Copies of this chain bind each other. A is one copy, B any other.
């Protein structure tokens, strides 16, 4: 199992940004490089707690990033490099997306005990 599958978040409360998108399918190479760069840049922001992401073969993607508080989220959205990429996302990559900001109130996990 990929150790990056799960974000190792602290006890709630904290915040989640749920980003659901449909990729147009164009310019996938630059998109891949830029996505990786954005994850790296996000992880450097004050208040970043982790991220979980997947994209299926039909172009649907869900990325959930976790943050200490609303202020940290707003600061990340105001980051200049991120703003530039957000614009490229609208112009070039995404046919549509939804963003939801939510306050995580409770959480639990399950790990298979006999996994080898």
Enumerate A80-97 residues with CB–CB distance to B below 8 Å.
90, 94-97
Let me know if B64 and A20 touch, CB within 8 A: yes
User: Is A46 engaged at the interface, CB distance under 8 Å to the other chain?
Assistant: no
Closest-by-CB residue of B relative to A66 is B100
Chain B residues, Cβ within 8 Å of A24: 112, 115
Docked CA distance A12–B94 (Å): 24
Let me know if A109 and B97 touch, CB within 8 A: yes
Docked CA distance A24–B113 (Å): 13
Let me know if A54 and B64 touch, CB within 8 A: no
Docked CA distance A43–B18 (Å): 20
Which of B57, B94, B105, B112 is in CB contact (< 8 Å) with A102? B105
User: Is A16 engaged at the interface, CB distance under 8 Å to the other chain?
Assistant: yes
9 further contact pairs, Cβ within 8 A, besides A16-B100, A18-B104: A1-B22, A2-B22, A7-B20, A24-B115, A52-B60, A90-B112, A96-B112, A97-B109, A97-B110
